[in-house]
Structure 1
Amino acid sequence: MPQHSPAPPTVQIRLPDALVRLFPDSRREVALTAASVNEAIDALDACWPGMRDRICDSRPAIRRHVNVFVDGEPATLGTPLQPGSELLVFTAISGG
């Protein structure tokens, strides 16, 4: 009998107001299916084209002034996601 790969987990994603304002139909909180931070960002971009470019640069990597956390820990594009994980995206605050 063939074995099936488990479906990617559903994760909760929280986005900053600054990003949500740029995509009028987006929401601050959304549940999407993704197995990694990279897949989650791809899923966001599928919902709201252009969002990936706001979160990632061309290397590709998370932009310098954007922070991504998974379950409270700093994350990269390769960070894996578990069912029920919370992915938090926020923009860095800087000043002088």
Structure 2
Amino acid sequence: MAEAVTVLLPEALRRLFPGAPGLVEVAAGSVAEAIAALDGRWPGMRDRLCDSTPAIRRHLNIFVDGERARLETPIPPGGEMIVMTWISGG
């Protein structure tokens, strides 16, 4: 059974899913499992985070314990996953 991990969600994503907090704990052993757990609580969230290949959408970055992650990246028990939207400017 997967251990609890902490997921931080950006405001831009939370606006699309009323009631979604900025900080949530889910049981997951990888980024893909964490996204599946989020989608279980807020249906449609997976489609906002992943494309159809499946991979993390290009306009998002996901970090696990400070390191850039992919769907297959493991999350250690008690670890932290941060979802960030890209910021562009000129």
TM-score normalised to the size of structure 2?
Answer: 0.97
Q: CA deviation at 1:83?
A: 0.8
Bigger radius of gyration: 1
Equivalent residue number for residue 9 of structure 1: 3
User: Are 1:9 and 1:81, in contact at CA under 8 Å, matched by a contact in 2?
Assistant: no
Q: Which secondary structure does the structure 2 equivalent of 1:13 belong to?
A: strand
Measured after TM superposition, the shift of residue 94 of structure 1 is 1.2
Q: What letter matches 2:59 in structure 1?
A: H
Aligned to 2:38: 44
SS at match of 2:15: helix
* SS of aligned partner of 2:72: coil
Structure 1 length as normaliser, TM-score?
A: 0.91
1:56 paired to 2:30: no
Offset at residue 95 of structure 1 (A): 2.3
Q: CA RMSD in A?
A: 0.7
Structure 1 stretches of at least 4 aligned residues deviating more than 6 Å after TM superposition: none
The alignment partner of 1:22 has SS state of: coil
How many Å apart are 1:9 and its aligned residue?
1.4
Aligned mates of 1:29, 1:51 — CA distance in 2: 15
1:66 aligns with 2:80: no
Paired residues, what number? Answer: 90
- Unmatched 5+ stretches in structure 2: none
- Fraction of identical pairs, as percent: 60
Q: In 2, Cα distance between the equivalents of 1:95 and 1:84?
A: 34
The Cα offsets for residues 31-57 of structure 1, whole Å up to 9 and x where unpaired, read as 000011000000000000010111110
